[in-house]
Chains A and B, each alone.
Chain A
Amino acid sequence: MFQTLAKVVEKRILTDQIILVTLRSEELTNNVKPGQFVNVRVSETCYPYLRRPFSYCDVERDTFKLMFTIYGQGTKMLANASIGSKFDVIGPLGNGFNLDDDFENAIFVGGGLGIAPFPFFTRVLKNKKNIYTYIGARTKEFVVTYGLQNYKIATDDGSIGFNGNVVELLKNDLDKKFFNGKIKIFGCGPTPMLRALKQLSEEYDLICEVSTEEAMACGFGICQGCPIELSDSSGFKLVCKDGPVFNVKEIKL
């Protein structure tokens, strides 16, 4: 873990809603795993006060990218940052996805901005595994395919791709025996989507890891602010430190 100043070197507007910011820092790009995140101090003043967590969207040499939509004041400030300005960033944080399981097919399922960690994941797994990407969005305006490969799209209103949710789209392919070899599912997105993935993975007996979200203050385990309940109700784990990636079997969604 490092706390360091990262410099904004590029900004791109991907769609009306979605922004990609590239930052430079040697420390924050060393030994990063897909699924890990950074915690950004968006303002030096007390407003907003707490840092904002973002997934590593992509990592290339000494630069990393963050992909986000403008929600509130924090994302607005990040989106408005000028090239050359610096942000105090802590990272790499969290556990990241686990690549040690035995699988040939990596299935990425991203809902909304939940696709954020997958460009980096694609870069890491390229030429090592078969990658299948499932993108879910409300309408075609919210679809981003930046850095993704071999993707299928589902939209709630059918304005592009499959008309329905992204987990139904994946289920159709599983029913059609579309994949050759062992499968592992990697999911990131809103909780209802993760819940549907949990059900699907149980039904088809597949390994499935999901990246979860919870409000955070510190991002590295000192505030106890980001609990997620264990499936056996025995207690909580911390999303920032024990996660954000969990095997779906382990947690209550």
Chain B
Amino acid sequence: MNLKVKIGNLELKNPVLVASGTFGYGIESADFLDLNQLGGIITKSLSLKPRKGNPPKRIAETPAGMLNAIGLANIGVEKFIEEKLPLLTKLNTKIIVNIAASSVEEYVECVRILDKEEIDAFEINVSCPNVKEGGLEFGRSLSKVGEITGKVVASTNKPVIIKLTPNVTFISEFAKVAKEEGATAVSAINTFVGMAVNVFTRKPKLSHITGGLSGPAIRPLALAKVFEIVQNVDIPVIGIGGITNSEDALEFLITGAKAVQIGTHNFVDPSAPIKIIKGIEDYLRNFNFKDVNEVIGSLQLS
């Protein structure tokens, strides 16, 4: 049975990846699952210089999900290369480094530095809703997404995946721009802007007031975004949003995502990605598929 999928030149041993910001720098969950079995690991968003992140409260639980306003707390590219990458490159899985920056130049600089390292691809986060300074949410501007994609693609030979925000009217327009500027694939989606209020204190539950909504609550919304892109743009899509088990993952694959990422559920069940890979295998066996690629995009619309 074949579980391998190809995203441009990037070959994954199976279509199950772990999402940026929900798996640390890649090795912290090693007590709970065999990292080598994953299709790939996407690291926490890195910026050129370390970032402290937002003050507490950074998270709040909501129905079937959570809000987060971490504020891209991270150790910076240099420390990542020194302290984290040596362990990551020993693993037998694809390492995709996620980058978030506050200017086009910073994206390019990060990619140039990391391009020399033993990593397999870049995921470019143009869509973090939680950072105030520099108007980081480039993801809502078609021209900015185009410019960032073009310049990053020109700075590396490795595959470039653009991670899109759902906080726009037509996400497929952004996927189209990413494709035109040479992106290998798009990831859909990052979190939805959300908010919650503590009625006892009458204050927002997050210090940043609004945050990113993730978890099962967003799965149908995420699936509709993936569907919109698949129907309108010929570019590989990696589906993300509220996936908790293999059935959830299969919804995205059937809709046309080439691969999926597990996010918030890594906090709830750190061994979930492996269970999901096994569940997909069982599904293929039970329904007599020889290859996961037979399932991808097999959505029956009539």
Contacts and interface: CB of A to CB of B under 8 A. Distances in A.
Contact of A222 (B28, B53, B65): B28
Main secondary structure of the interface of B (DSSP, over half): loop
B225 interface: no
A112 interface: no
A47 B270 CA distance: 18
Nearest to B51: A235
Interface stretch (B55-63, B139-147, B169-177, B227-235): B55-63
Interface stretch (A12-20, A48-56, A60-68, A138-146): A48-56
Nearest to A214: B56
Contacts of B271: 3
Nearest to B32: A3
B215 interface: yes
Given A223-B267, A227-B53, A229-B55, A47 B64 contact: yes
A88 B269 contact: yes
B55 A41 contact: no
B256 interface: no
Interface string B256-275: 00000000101111110000
A3 B270 contact: yes
Contacts of B68: 217, 223, 225
A159 B164 CA distance: 59
Nearest to B50: A235
Given A215-B57, A228-B56, A49 B266 contact: no
Interface in A1-16: 1-3
B56 A226 contact: yes
B52 interface: yes
Main secondary structure of the interface of A (DSSP, over half): loop
A221 B24 contact: yes
Contacts of B269: 3, 41, 88
Interface of A: 1-3, 41, 46-51, 88, 90, 214-229, 235-236
30 contacts: A3-B31, A41-B268, A46-B63, A46-B216, A46-B217, A47-B63, A47-B64, A48-B61, A49-B61, A49-B66, A50-B66, A90-B32, A215-B57, A215-B59, A216-B59, A217-B59, A217-B66, A222-B23, A222-B24, A222-B28, A222-B267, A223-B68, A223-B70, A224-B58, A224-B70, A225-B58, A225-B59, A227-B58, A229-B55, A236-B52
